[in-house]
Amino acid sequence: MGNLYSQTFPPKARWSVQQMPDLKGKIAIVTGANVGIGKETAKQLLARVYIAARSKSKAETAIAELKAETGKEALFLELDLGDLVAIKRSAQAFLAAEPSLNILIANAGVWCPPMDELTKQGYDLQLGTNALGHWYFTQLLLPGLLKGVSEGGARVVTLSSVGSDLAKPVIWDAFTDTPARRKLTLYDLYNQSKLFNLLLSIEYARRYADTGIIFSSLNPGNIETDLLRRVTGIQRSVLGMLLYPVQQGALTSLYAATSPEATENGAYYIPWARRGVANAKARDPVTGARVWEWMEEQIKGI
């Protein structure tokens, strides 16, 4: 409980965006950067930034706003994390334009959508978008990341949440629209997807430790974002007392993606820009390997 308390009510940050190193010449992708934490992260990155998002119109609005605020010209990369075929198309388009990649921030996510909503291939929308989609996108971008290692370094930062600490043990028969899935709450499904974010980031670090790519994951904190648009009434009022502005939400992502101090492979960071310890379920190598193998099965033939 102490770990949860520390993440919910973090101490004042000791690191700020003013401490970011010069990223001139580096190339970054931030998924879901048209709104919220992702948009703020893209705003602060001093690099060539691709905003990877499903909606071109929303991304173009964000790009225009960011240019007005910063003078920087972000680029749009079409990405639908709920469709494995579209993910492959997106990665191919990026690698055709930019053969190297220095920073990938897996920021996009969905939170508690209606139970009937599934991905294009029929997976639970939260698991498919938050975990499977990002895992596959990272797989496809590995050639660019490997080249990025020799061109200033390469990092993959995956956003999880405090929900990973609240997750039940993995419900293996609840990944598609099964009776087992229907017995779970939307919160259970969200927490499981965020546990997967940690499991897979740590597993990436294990499997690619000798490549020079640095993999890390984090809890950005309880942040006021568009993800909470469906929350109303008393629940919204209670949540409002626990939420922080989006600028603070981006802080830990920026630290993990850029700080010379954040180079430990497989590390987990907590609000604000602090080294944390992922929960025991996320660190279990047996579960991590099993989840990885399931992921590999899902992309065969894509």
Nearest to 283 by CA among 209, 212, 211, 205: 205
Q: State the catalytic residue, choosing from 194, 208, 216, 255.
A: 194
291 near 199, Cβ under 8 Å? Answer: yes
Q: Walk across the sheet containing 267-270 and list its strands.
A: 75-78, 48-53, 27-31, 103-106, 155-159, 214-218, 267-270, 274-276
225 near 160, Cβ under 8 Å? Answer: no
**Widest pairwise Cα distance in the chain:** 52
**Phi, then psi, of 296 in degrees rounded to 5:** -60, -35
Identity of the residue numbered 236: R
Q: State the catalytic residue, choosing from 190, 204, 208, 268.
A: 190
**Distance (Å, rounded) from C-alpha 146 to C-alpha 154?**
7
Tell me if residue 120 is catalytic: no
* Phi-psi label, residue 212: left if phi above 0, alpha if psi -120 to 50, beta otherwise: left
**Phi, then psi, of 267 in degrees rounded to 5:** -70, 155
9 near 218, Cβ under 8 Å? Answer: no
Nearest to 10 by CA among 226, 288, 218: 218
**Distance (Å, rounded) from C-alpha 173 to C-alpha 99?**
38
Tell me if residue 160 is catalytic: yes
**Distance (Å, rounded) from C-alpha 243 to C-alpha 235?**
12
Question: Which residue is associated with the tokens 């609840």?
Answer: 174
Angle at CA of residue 16, ends 66 and 64, nearest 5°: 0
Tell me if residue 26 is catalytic: no
Nearest to 194 by CA among 285, 80, 106: 106
- The catalytic site residues sit at 160, 190, 194
